[in-house]
Amino acid sequence: MSTPVSHSLINRELGILEFNRRVMAQAEEEGTPLLERLRFLCIFSSNMDEFFEIRVSGLKEQMRLNPGIKGPDGLSARQAYRQLAKTSHALVAQQYELLNQSVLPALAEQGVRFFRRSRWNEAQTAWIRDYFYNELMPVLTPIGLDPAHPFPNVLNKSLNFAVELSGKDAFGRNSGRAVVQAPRSLPRVIQLPHEVADCEHGFVFLSSILHAHVGALFAGMEVLGCYQFRVTRNSDLFVDDEENTNLREQLQGELPHRHFGDAVRLEVADNCSEEMTAFLLDQFGLEREDLYQVRGPVNLVRLMQVPDRVDRPDLKFPPFVQGVPAAIARQPDLFKAISRGDILLHHPFQSFQPVIDFIRQASEDPDVLAIRQTVYRTGTDSELMNQLIQAAQRGKEVTVVVELLARFDEEANINWAQKLEEAGAHVVYGVVGYKTHAKLALVVRRENGRLKRYAHLGTGNYHARTARLYTDFGLFTCNVEMCQDVNDVFQQITGLGDAGEHTYLLQSPFTLHPRMMEAIRAEAERARAGEKALIVAKMNALVEPKIIAALYEASQAGVQIDLIVRGVCALRPGIVGMSENIRVRSVIGRFLEHHRVFYFWNGGQEDVYLASADWMDRNFFRRIETGFPVLDPKLKRRVINEGIRPYLKDNLLTWEMQPDGGYKRRAKRGRGFDSQQFLLNVVAARAA
């Protein structure tokens, strides 16, 4: 990275690119199963798409509105953009070289082949011709560009083809250019029949089929060139807090415009003519540094379907059986099980099913009077949401806080909100100006003539699919004070009133940031007094300047600080006189590291907090988040032994951050230790 080390903070956008570099490195690892290497390349593409849709579009807005203002990293928007553009181009070039020179040839050796046009045999050519005329041509609409047919409004991230033509059509027109848009309903990768492919798994790209037959769309004209292209647009939604009277209606009006925001990136095939490239850049109002010429399909994200369509377990991560806590295995009645003591779930090593069962049992139990839950991301097909709907239909008091502004999940959440309301549930859209990102569920049950509360608190979303891919902790409890705290948070969100005092729960935007600052400073005071002082924090991102400043001060006081930050980290570790006692590592592996764990030595008491929040400005000040202590000593020890120690010991999946913001793989010392495989062995394989 070229950011000067003299500045105490690292640029956030450049930090995100460094994370994406580490993701792509998983595709380079020969030890990663082959189809998983392809999947990591697709994940890298998906990450880069979102990076341009949100972060780059935001930088471009800054360049337009406040070009001279410098960020906390000391860079203006223009300076940051120049650096990220240079890095992005290098990463994309590396990605396609890896795809073409390593991953695809290795897959071909294993009988998974992607056939290029130049290598189709007679049988393949005939099958593909029939496929084009029967399946593609009827749904394609070629658009000739002339005064009556201006350049079409191209959808965000859609696959398109720019065609150069010669000759005149039936009406005597000769514009020389046309655009063909590939409908999103069409697959981007088509699997050939086994007898045609003459291999175990044969695929052909949609772009190759269209290139081969594009002439059929322009009868009587000569096709001089056909070039695939894809434009990425600003996908942030604008919601006016002052003018907003109905958030759902305003979002429903905004969502269609996401597909047609300002262009921020143009991807074209590397064979695209200079004339056509200049024409496309002009149409989208982009500069040369916004252009990405690639050697292969411009929409690699759509290759994500291939590993799922190839039945080769030997080329994928081995399957595993998720564990179930012994307390639940012994007592499937969750209310009885929780009454005997708090229960900790560690996903994905342990199943998410108990969380679904918690809501299902509450829905079916005649003694349950009320269910309250927050929803940030839950998916389009959610058993948990269906259980909430059934609970409302059964006459229970169901209140669901649906965050409509969960980026890229807005449409799904709007649909669930409508279904919940139709079933009779109370649906609340949080607090205007504050996203509800807390992960909370509360059940009120009548027992022995009295009301008793049960709660689930988590670090991750109520999303069954991602719970198999993301590492997260969840806690079941019926602790009276903790449940009262959870109830108070719901009361704040759904009603009106002061924040009030919580016994255990930490909450943004009120107490979470002050409590973290207080805990960091307390460790610094102990270090100055000559006592042992230790901080370990695991999270997805660390960018909040006051927290970083407090960590710098703690390091200078002698506190030993270990930070496990999966993604962007604006703090610079290892700088003498500022952060020499801080180590930052990032763990990238089969599962997405997602849980937030905050550990403070606290004179040997070892305070451990789990949270829904990263250490970011938005999480501390512009979101409703929760953090909660792990009170049960045995469960606290589990969090330390499963959520902290394996990651500090890891020397196979770990990248160590350098003072300049770059990362190096941790040098293997002794026997290799893979934190995620360790947890698969000791958590998934046992009833913990």
What DSSP state is assigned to residue 550? H
Chain-centroid distance of CA 672 in Å reads 28
- DSSP letters, 406-429, are STT-HHHHHHHHHHHHHHT-EEE-
Q: Give burial (CB, 10 Å; 0-12/13-18/19+) of 334.
A: buried
Sort residue 187 into left (φ over 0), alpha (ψ -120 to 50) or beta.
beta
The residue among 551, 546, 446, 455 whose CA lies nearest residue 504 is 455
**CA–CA separation, 555 vs 527, rounded Å?**
9
Residue owning tokens 């290139």? 211
Sort residue 603 into left (φ over 0), alpha (ψ -120 to 50) or beta.
left
Chain-centroid distance of CA 317 in Å reads 20
Instruction: Tell me if 450 sits within 8 A of 404, measured CB to CB.
Output: no
Chain-centroid distance of CA 476 in Å reads 25
What lies within 8 Å, CB to CB, of 449 at 6+ separation is none
Instruction: Tell me if 686 sits within 8 A of 27, measured CB to CB.
Output: no
The residue among 417, 320, 343, 424 whose CA lies nearest residue 378 is 417
Instruction: Tell me if 413 sits within 8 A of 404, measured CB to CB.
Output: yes
Instruction: Tell me if 350 sits within 8 A of 325, measured CB to CB.
Output: yes
Instruction: Tell me if 454 sits within 8 A of 442, measured CB to CB.
Output: yes
Give per-residue burial for 142-168: e unless 16+ CB within 10 Å, then b: bbbbeeeeeeeebbbbebbbbbbbeee
- DSSP letters, 166-232, are ES--TTS---SEEEEEPPTTS-SEEEPPHHHHTSSEEEEEHHHHHHHHGGGGSTTSEEEEEEEEEEE
- DSSP letters, 437-460, are ---EEEEEEEETTEEEEEEEEESS
82 C-beta neighbours (distance < 10 Å), count:
14
Active site residue 437: yes
What DSSP state is assigned to residue 367? T
537 C-beta neighbours (distance < 10 Å), count:
25
Type of residue numbered 156: N
Given the residues 347, 437, 456, 463, the one annotated as active site? 437
**CA–CA separation, 56 vs 41, rounded Å?**
20
**What residues act catalytically?**
437
